[in-house]
Amino acid sequence: MDRCRLKRERSGFWGICRVFPQPRRPASPDFFGRGHNLGYSLRISPRVEWRLRHIALMFETEYTLTGYGQPDEMYRPDNTLDVSNIRFQAALMYHL
């Protein structure tokens, strides 16, 4: 009887990323990095899943907020502009 029961699972993810200021000016303006104009980023992503025997139905929503700006002489993004994104996803899976 336990295999015929509908089970619900909830989970989620959240994360915050922030650029910390440099203690002193870099010796060379040539350096490698990703997102030199990225000040901060916030992401929240809740998910819910239902399972019935071999079938799983999942729904996920993701909200991302990122602040982009112009780097100053210490490579700290200044005058940041917030850009946000919302993503919806649904999945139907069959487990063997």
Per-residue pLDDT of 76-87, as tens digits, reads 788 889 999 999
Q: Tell me, what's the pLDDT at 36? A: 73
Residue 31 has pLDDT above 90, yes or no: no
* Cβ-proximal residues to 49 (8 Å cutoff; 6+ apart), any chain: 8, 9, 10, 11, 56, 57, 58, 59
Residue 65 has pLDDT above 70, yes or no: yes
Identify which has the larger pLDDT, 29 or 46. 46
Average pLDDT (46-66) is 92
| Domain residue limits, the chain | 2-22+36-94
- Cα(86)–Cα(70) distance, rounded to whole angstroms? 24
Q: What is the pLDDT of residue 62?
A: 94
